[in-house]
Amino acid sequence: MAFELPPLPYNYDALEPTISKETMTFHHDKHHKAYTDKLNEGVEKDPALQGKTIEDILASISSQPPLVRNNGGGYWNHDFFWKSMKQGGGQPSGALAEAIESTFGGLDKLKEEFNTKGAGQFGSGWAWLIVDDAGTLKVTSTPNQDNPLMDDVKDRGTPLLGNDVWEHAYYLTYKNDRAAYLKAWWDVVDWDVVGQRYDAAKK
Ligand code: MN
Protein backbone atom coordinates (compact mmCIF):
# COMPACT_ATOMS: atom_id res chain seq x y z
CA MET A 1 0.00 0.00 0.00
CA ALA A 2 1.31 3.43 -0.92
CA PHE A 3 -0.10 5.44 1.97
CA GLU A 4 -0.59 4.42 5.57
CA LEU A 5 -2.96 5.84 8.15
CA PRO A 6 -0.69 7.84 10.48
CA PRO A 7 -1.31 7.17 14.17
CA LEU A 8 -2.76 9.98 16.28
CA PRO A 9 0.10 11.91 17.93
CA TYR A 10 -1.69 11.68 21.32
CA ASN A 11 -4.30 9.56 23.10
CA TYR A 12 -7.90 9.57 21.90
CA ASP A 13 -9.01 11.43 25.03
CA ALA A 14 -6.14 13.97 25.02
CA LEU A 15 -8.22 16.87 23.71
CA GLU A 16 -11.23 16.41 26.00
CA PRO A 17 -13.48 18.21 26.69
CA THR A 18 -13.02 20.25 23.48
CA ILE A 19 -12.95 17.13 21.30
CA SER A 20 -14.41 14.02 22.88
CA LYS A 21 -12.75 10.62 22.89
CA GLU A 22 -15.70 9.25 20.92
CA THR A 23 -15.39 11.93 18.22
CA MET A 24 -11.64 11.40 18.00
CA THR A 25 -11.99 7.63 17.76
CA PHE A 26 -14.52 7.74 14.91
CA HIS A 27 -12.79 10.64 13.19
CA HIS A 28 -9.38 9.00 13.10
CA ASP A 29 -10.16 5.28 12.99
CA LYS A 30 -13.11 5.45 10.58
CA HIS A 31 -13.04 8.70 8.59
CA HIS A 32 -9.29 9.23 8.23
CA LYS A 33 -8.83 5.51 7.58
CA ALA A 34 -11.47 5.59 4.84
CA TYR A 35 -9.75 8.51 3.09
CA THR A 36 -6.45 6.64 3.30
CA ASP A 37 -7.89 3.40 1.93
CA LYS A 38 -9.68 5.14 -0.93
CA LEU A 39 -6.62 7.23 -1.81
CA ASN A 40 -4.76 3.93 -2.15
CA GLU A 41 -7.50 2.62 -4.45
CA GLY A 42 -6.98 5.69 -6.64
CA VAL A 43 -3.21 5.25 -6.65
CA GLU A 44 -3.55 1.58 -7.56
CA LYS A 45 -5.59 2.53 -10.62
CA ASP A 46 -2.97 5.00 -11.89
CA PRO A 47 0.64 3.80 -12.14
CA ALA A 48 1.77 7.42 -12.72
CA LEU A 49 0.83 8.21 -9.10
CA GLN A 50 2.77 5.37 -7.55
CA GLY A 51 5.79 6.55 -5.58
CA LYS A 52 4.65 10.18 -5.57
CA THR A 53 4.36 12.09 -2.30
CA ILE A 54 0.94 13.30 -1.27
CA GLU A 55 2.18 16.89 -1.65
CA ASP A 56 3.19 16.19 -5.28
CA ILE A 57 -0.22 14.70 -5.97
CA LEU A 58 -2.02 17.69 -4.42
CA ALA A 59 0.10 20.16 -6.42
CA SER A 60 -1.31 18.74 -9.68
CA ILE A 61 -4.71 17.70 -8.42
CA SER A 62 -6.53 19.43 -11.30
CA SER A 63 -5.51 16.51 -13.53
CA GLN A 64 -6.83 13.85 -11.12
CA PRO A 65 -10.23 12.16 -10.83
CA PRO A 66 -12.56 12.91 -7.88
CA LEU A 67 -11.49 9.68 -6.12
CA VAL A 68 -7.92 10.97 -5.80
CA ARG A 69 -8.90 14.59 -5.15
CA ASN A 70 -11.37 13.88 -2.37
CA ASN A 71 -9.39 11.18 -0.64
CA GLY A 72 -5.94 12.64 -1.23
CA GLY A 73 -7.22 15.85 0.33
CA GLY A 74 -8.85 13.93 3.17
CA TYR A 75 -5.66 11.97 3.80
CA TRP A 76 -3.44 15.06 3.97
CA ASN A 77 -5.90 17.36 5.75
CA HIS A 78 -6.51 15.04 8.68
CA ASP A 79 -2.83 14.30 9.28
CA PHE A 80 -2.22 18.07 9.29
CA PHE A 81 -5.22 18.60 11.58
CA TRP A 82 -4.09 16.09 14.24
CA LYS A 83 -0.65 17.67 14.28
CA SER A 84 -2.15 21.16 14.73
CA MET A 85 -3.61 20.39 18.14
CA LYS A 86 -2.43 19.50 21.62
CA GLN A 87 -3.79 19.34 25.12
CA GLY A 88 -3.59 22.78 26.71
CA GLY A 89 -3.20 24.68 23.45
CA GLY A 90 -1.12 27.82 24.04
CA GLN A 91 -0.59 31.25 22.50
CA PRO A 92 1.18 32.46 19.35
CA SER A 93 4.70 33.78 19.92
CA GLY A 94 7.67 35.19 18.01
CA ALA A 95 7.40 36.19 14.36
CA LEU A 96 3.97 34.57 14.01
CA ALA A 97 2.54 36.63 16.88
CA GLU A 98 3.94 39.80 15.30
CA ALA A 99 2.46 38.90 11.89
CA ILE A 100 -0.94 38.17 13.44
CA GLU A 101 -0.84 41.56 15.15
CA SER A 102 0.13 43.49 12.02
CA THR A 103 -2.15 41.59 9.64
CA PHE A 104 -5.32 41.13 11.66
CA GLY A 105 -4.91 43.53 14.59
CA GLY A 106 -4.50 40.74 17.11
CA LEU A 107 -5.36 37.13 17.83
CA ASP A 108 -9.01 37.82 18.68
CA LYS A 109 -9.54 39.42 15.27
CA LEU A 110 -7.90 36.46 13.54
CA LYS A 111 -10.16 34.06 15.46
CA GLU A 112 -13.21 36.10 14.53
CA GLU A 113 -12.35 36.06 10.82
CA PHE A 114 -11.46 32.36 10.90
CA ASN A 115 -14.66 31.42 12.74
CA THR A 116 -16.74 33.46 10.29
CA LYS A 117 -15.11 31.64 7.35
CA GLY A 118 -15.67 28.28 9.01
CA ALA A 119 -19.29 28.98 9.88
CA GLY A 120 -19.93 30.41 6.41
CA GLN A 121 -18.55 27.41 4.52
CA PHE A 122 -21.78 25.91 3.18
CA GLY A 123 -21.95 22.16 3.66
CA SER A 124 -18.65 20.45 4.42
CA GLY A 125 -15.16 21.86 4.23
CA TRP A 126 -12.27 23.46 6.04
CA ALA A 127 -11.22 26.87 7.37
CA TRP A 128 -7.54 27.75 6.97
CA LEU A 129 -4.84 30.16 8.03
CA ILE A 130 -2.29 30.28 5.21
CA VAL A 131 0.75 32.20 4.06
CA ASP A 132 0.23 33.24 0.45
CA ASP A 133 2.91 33.59 -2.24
CA ALA A 134 3.55 37.18 -1.19
CA GLY A 135 4.31 36.02 2.37
CA THR A 136 1.08 37.44 3.77
CA LEU A 137 -1.14 35.73 6.33
CA LYS A 138 -4.63 35.05 5.05
CA VAL A 139 -7.79 33.33 6.30
CA THR A 140 -9.51 31.16 3.69
CA SER A 141 -11.93 28.27 3.36
CA THR A 142 -12.29 25.34 1.00
CA PRO A 143 -15.20 22.99 0.23
CA ASN A 144 -15.15 19.22 0.70
CA GLN A 145 -11.58 17.95 1.27
CA ASP A 146 -9.92 20.62 -0.86
CA ASN A 147 -6.93 22.44 0.64
CA PRO A 148 -4.59 25.36 -0.11
CA LEU A 149 -1.93 23.05 -1.61
CA MET A 150 -4.17 22.12 -4.55
CA ASP A 151 -3.21 23.79 -7.83
CA ASP A 152 -6.73 24.87 -8.74
CA VAL A 153 -8.12 26.28 -5.48
CA LYS A 154 -9.01 29.96 -5.28
CA ASP A 155 -6.58 30.76 -2.45
CA ARG A 156 -3.34 28.82 -2.76
CA GLY A 157 -0.65 29.00 -0.14
CA THR A 158 1.19 27.25 2.65
CA PRO A 159 -1.27 26.04 5.29
CA LEU A 160 -0.39 27.03 8.86
CA LEU A 161 -3.59 25.90 10.54
CA GLY A 162 -6.81 24.24 9.45
CA ASN A 163 -10.06 23.35 11.14
CA ASP A 164 -12.35 20.61 9.92
CA VAL A 165 -15.94 21.88 9.71
CA TRP A 166 -17.47 18.63 8.47
CA GLU A 167 -20.30 17.57 10.80
CA HIS A 168 -18.35 14.40 11.69
CA ALA A 169 -15.78 16.65 13.40
CA TYR A 170 -18.22 18.02 15.98
CA TYR A 171 -21.73 16.58 15.80
CA LEU A 172 -21.42 14.04 18.65
CA THR A 173 -20.63 16.85 21.12
CA TYR A 174 -21.86 20.11 19.59
CA LYS A 175 -24.75 18.71 17.52
CA ASN A 176 -25.69 21.30 14.87
CA ASP A 177 -23.84 24.16 16.60
CA ARG A 178 -20.83 24.55 14.35
CA ALA A 179 -20.17 28.04 15.73
CA ALA A 180 -19.79 26.66 19.27
CA TYR A 181 -17.30 24.06 18.03
CA LEU A 182 -15.31 26.69 16.14
CA LYS A 183 -15.15 28.88 19.23
CA ALA A 184 -14.14 26.06 21.60
CA TRP A 185 -11.54 24.61 19.23
CA TRP A 186 -8.99 27.38 19.85
CA ASP A 187 -8.36 25.87 23.31
CA VAL A 188 -6.50 22.97 21.70
CA VAL A 189 -4.58 24.74 18.91
CA ASP A 190 -0.85 23.99 19.16
CA TRP A 191 0.58 27.45 18.47
CA ASP A 192 4.15 26.16 18.73
CA VAL A 193 3.56 23.99 15.66
CA VAL A 194 1.78 26.82 13.83
CA GLY A 195 4.73 29.12 14.60
CA GLN A 196 7.21 26.54 13.30
CA ARG A 197 5.20 26.23 10.07
CA TYR A 198 5.21 30.00 9.72
CA ASP A 199 8.98 30.24 10.22
CA ALA A 200 9.54 27.44 7.67
CA ALA A 201 7.23 29.13 5.13
CA LYS A 202 9.03 32.47 5.46
CA LYS A 203 12.49 31.00 4.82
MN1 MN B 1 -12.80 15.08 9.11
- What is the CATH classification number for the domain harbouring 62? 1.10.287.990
How far apart are the C-alpha atoms of 179 and 185, rounded to whole Å?
Answer: 10
Task: Please choose, from the candidates 155, 69, 174, the residue with its C-alpha nearest in 3D space to the C-alpha of residue 117.
Answer: 155
Residue 175 phi/psi, 5° resolution?
50, -130
pTM greater than 0.85 (yes/no) = yes
CA–centroid distance, 189 to ligand 1, in Å, is: 16
CA–centroid distance, 54 to ligand 1, in Å, is: 17
> Residues 124-130: what's their mean pLDDT?
98
CA–centroid distance, 76 to ligand 1, in Å, is: 11
Sheet with strand 158-164: strands edge to edge: 137-143, 125-131, 158-164
The answer to whether position 15 is within a domain reads no
CA–centroid distance, 164 to ligand 1, in Å, is: 6
Residue 130 bridge partners (DSSP): 138, 159
Contact in structure between 188 and 169 (CB atoms under 8 Å): no
Please give the mean pLDDT across all residues of the chain.
97
Domain that holds residue 34: 21-82
The string of pLDDT tens digits covering residues 68-124 is 999 999 999 999 999 999 999 999 999 999 999 999 999 999 999 999 999 999 999
CA–centroid distance, 105 to ligand 1, in Å, is: 30
The string of pLDDT tens digits covering residues 27-50 is 999 999 999 999 999 999 999 999
CA–centroid distance, 78 to ligand 1, in Å, is: 6
How far apart are the C-alpha atoms of 203 and 200, rounded to whole Å?
Answer: 5
Are 98 and 152 part of one and the same domain? yes
Protein residues placing their CB within 5 Å of the ion ligand 1: 164, 166
CA–centroid distance, 51 to ligand 1, in Å, is: 25
The answer to whether position 2 is within a domain reads no
Are 44 and 137 part of one and the same domain? no
* Domain finish residue from 35, 50, 82: 82
CA–centroid distance, 114 to ligand 1, in Å, is: 17
Are 33 and 66 part of one and the same domain? yes
Question: Number of structural domains, the chain?
Answer: 2
* Domain finish residue from 36, 56, 82: 82
Amino acid at 136: T
How far apart are the C-alpha atoms of 203 and 182, rounded to whole Å?
Answer: 30
For residue 86, the SS3 value is coil
pLDDT band with cut points at 50, 70 and 90 for residue 1 = low
CA–centroid distance, 168 to ligand 1, in Å, is: 6
The answer to whether position 163 is within a domain reads yes
DSSP 34-69: HHHHHHHHHHHH-GGGTT--HHHHHHTGGGS-HHHH
The domain that holds 140 is classified in CATH as 3.55.40.20
Are 63 and 119 part of one and the same domain? no
The answer to whether position 123 is within a domain reads yes
